A and B are shown apart, each in its own frame.
Chain A
Amino acid sequence: GQSLEQPSEVTAVEGAIVQINCTYQTSGFYGLSWYQQHDGGAPTFLSYNALDGLEETGRFSSFLSRSDSYGYLLLQELQMKDSASYFCAVRDTGTDSWGKLQFGAGTQVVVTP
């Protein structure tokens, strides 16, 4: 079957670094995405990794290891506005899935002063 695992909650102080891990099991794999969702808001796209390695976008970076079925989102120089839920999502290329996204349950990041 398909499954994604990520921690339910992470707490850190302003200025710190947080790493959110995501492990996945899918019948096929095309890429790993990350989305951010503030309370009451819509999910918004952060990053996408199709190949192994680190992708950096400002304070946020995303990493993928296809051989380990593992990725992470790295949030640096944490700010209060980074308090949100973060979802990893896998684009599955299994025979019955057509490339739709499978989402993890989400990680609540709490940033404290």
Chain B
Amino acid sequence: DVKVTQSSRYLVKRTGEKVFLECVQDMDHENMFWYRQDPGLGLRLIYFSYDVKMKEKGDIPEGYSVSREKKERFSLILESASTNQTSMYLCASSPGLRYEQYFGPGTRLTVT
């Protein structure tokens, strides 16, 4: 079974802190994605990566950056956390251009 793990299930940070969210997949997938999920808005793509050191902006990249130094790991960085970044963050991976994405359990981030 494909496994996507995220570093924390719950995280509380203060405004202005730098926040790192880590995601690891164990199936050698080329593509990895970061989404945020808010009630009534569904899943919105923040960034994605189709190869090591490659990244593309999604629909809402402002205030975020990403890093992919190894194929299995994709990190989301909040450079200076703000209260409007309080959300559920979901990581996903997929093999090549196949349609099925595998999601991690999510990190619920609260910024106070």
Contact = CB atoms under 8 A, between A and B. Distances in A.
Given A98-B50, A98-B56, A45 B101 contact: yes
Contact of B105 (A41, A50, A89, A105): A41
Q: Say what secondary structure dominates the interface of chain B.
A: strand
B54 to A, nearest CB: 11
A59 interface: no
A26 to B, nearest CB: 13
A105 B103 contact: no
Contacts, number: 47
Interface residues of B, number: 24
Given A48-B100, A100-B33, A105-B42, 18 more contacts: A33-B99, A42-B4, A42-B103, A43-B90, A43-B92, A43-B101, A43-B103, A45-B100, A45-B101, A50-B99, A87-B43, A98-B56, A99-B97, A100-B48, A100-B58, A103-B35, A103-B42, A105-B40
Interface of A: 8, 30-31, 33, 41-45, 48, 50, 87, 89, 91, 98-106
